[in-house]
């Protein structure tokens, strides 16, 4: 089994799974999604809960959600023991809280996400869901290692098609930079787009160098001039959330 070791994307590192602050409690949404992915055994989930605690208070509704996602009675008991007297916390902002496409030259507020410049206006890239394969590459909630991550995106082509050169802006949540995003070359496979990333540095697979420059607080700009193909920006995730982001900001280069 490949054991994933903790790391943060910087320059050549392709993927941020979790921030380096491993002491943060696990969020309800993060636990639900991790259960749905199925990358850990129940005993491993219990180990994580006992070590880190949780950021929510157990109640009947949450228990029903967790059981529906696959939580065992032992895991429920471990969570209940850790949530006694705990306070719920508001989730940190992330890519799912981005504004609708901009209608002005630039958004009034740059919510976390990826934007493309079209006809002098900044427009947010549409996100698409990634179906990550279960298995050893997602065995740990913390860290990044030598294994590879394999998934697929429905459909043969991204709905976002542009001609090079393309100007992108990456707006990040607090605590992240543009280098925490991975720009991945996708591959056509049986009517889908395969996402396959692994390794680091010179051995990294299917990664395109970002080369983004800061233009404002938590805002970076980059020029893209690669050849035709399908690509996707994989955003980072926060400690206590998913092992890997469930969506990508995709685009394709057209003639």
pLDDT, one tens digit per residue, over 15-58 is 333 333 445 788 888 888 888 776 678 888 888 888 888 888 88
Q: Are residues 199 and 246 in the same domain?
A: yes
Residue 196's domain spans which residues? 95-253
Q: How confident is the model at residue 236, as a pLDDT?
A: 87
Mean model confidence pLDDT for the chain? 75
pTM equals 0.57
What tens digit of pLDDT does each residue of 87-141 get? Answer: 433 333 333 333 344 344 666 678 999 999 998 999 999 899 999 886 433 333 3
17 lies in some domain? no
For the residues 152-158, what does the mean pLDDT come to? 93
Taking the C-alpha atoms of residue 245 and residue 236, their distance in angstroms, rounded to an integer, is 6
Residues of the chain with pLDDT > 90, as a percent, come to: 32
Q: How confident is the model at residue 39, as a pLDDT?
A: 65
Nearest to 122 by CA among 100, 140, 142, 137: 100
Domain boundary among 50, 83, 116: 83
Q: Are residues 149 and 243 in the same domain?
A: yes
Q: How confident is the model at residue 240, as a pLDDT?
A: 63
Q: How confident is the model at residue 103, as a pLDDT?
A: 40
The three-class DSSP label of residue 29 is helix
Q: How confident is the model at residue 60, as a pLDDT?
A: 80
38 lies in some domain? yes
Q: Are residues 229 and 173 in the same domain?
A: yes
Is the model's pLDDT at 202 over the cut of 70? no
Q: How confident is the model at residue 133, as a pLDDT?
A: 82
214 lies in some domain? yes
Q: Are residues 238 and 139 in the same domain?
A: yes
List for the chain the helix, strand, coil content (%; round to 5).
20, 30, 50
Q: How confident is the model at residue 165, as a pLDDT?
A: 96
228 lies in some domain? yes
Q: How confident is the model at residue 219 (pLDDT cuts 50, 70, 90)?
A: very high
9 lies in some domain? no
Q: How confident is the model at residue 223 (pLDDT cuts 50, 70, 90)?
A: very high
Q: Which helix (H) or strand (E) holds 224?
A: strand 219-224
Q: Are residues 203 and 237 in the same domain?
A: yes
- Listed range (101-115, 155-169, 213-227) with the worst mean pLDDT: 101-115
Q: Are residues 118 and 186 in the same domain?
A: yes
145 close to 236: Cβ distance less than 8 angstroms:
no
Q: How confident is the model at residue 200 (pLDDT cuts 50, 70, 90)?
A: low
3 lies in some domain? no
Q: Are residues 54 and 172 in the same domain?
A: no
Number of domains present in the structure of the chain? 2
Q: Are residues 216 and 180 in the same domain?
A: yes
Q: How confident is the model at residue 199, as a pLDDT?
A: 58
Q: Are residues 109 and 201 in the same domain?
A: yes
Nearest to 133 by CA among 244, 30, 47, 240: 244
18 lies in some domain? no
Q: How confident is the model at residue 108, as a pLDDT?
A: 64
Q: Are residues 178 and 207 in the same domain?
A: yes
158 close to 204: Cβ distance less than 8 angstroms:
no
Q: Are residues 49 and 155 in the same domain?
A: no
Q: Are residues 68 and 167 in the same domain?
A: no
8 lies in some domain? no
């Amino acid at each position: 089994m490949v054991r994933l070791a903790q790391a943060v994307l910087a320059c050549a590192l392709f993927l941020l799974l979790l921030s380096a602050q491993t002491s943060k409690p696990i969020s309800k949404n993060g636990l639900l999604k991790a259960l749905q992915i199925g990358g850990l055994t129940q005993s491993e989930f219990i180990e994580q809960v006992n070590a880190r605690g949780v950021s929510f208070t157990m109640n009947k509704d949450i228990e029903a959600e967790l059981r529906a996602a696959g939580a065992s009675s032992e895991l429920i008991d471990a969570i209940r023991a850790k949530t006694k007297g705990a306070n719920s916390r508001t989730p940190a902002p992330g890519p799912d809280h981005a504004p609708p496409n901009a209608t002005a030259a630039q958004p009034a507020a740059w919510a976390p996400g990826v934007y493309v410049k079209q006809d002098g206006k900044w427009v947010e890239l549409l996100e698409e869901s990634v179906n990550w394969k279960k298995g050893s590459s997602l065995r740990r909630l913390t860290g990044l290692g030598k294994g590879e991550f394999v998934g697929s995106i429905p459909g043969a082509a991204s709905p976002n098609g542009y001609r090079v050169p393309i100007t992108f802006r990456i707006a990040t949540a607090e605590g992240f930079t543009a280098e925490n995003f991975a720009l991945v070359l996708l591959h056509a496979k049986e009517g889908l787009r395969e996402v396959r990333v692994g390794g680091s540095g010179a051995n990294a697979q299917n990664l395109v160098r970002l080369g983004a420059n800061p233009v404002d607080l938590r805002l970076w700009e980059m020029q893209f001039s690669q050849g035709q193909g399908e690509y996707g920006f994989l955003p980072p995730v926060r400690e206590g959330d998913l092992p890997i982001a469930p969506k990508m900001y995709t685009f394709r280069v057209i003639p």
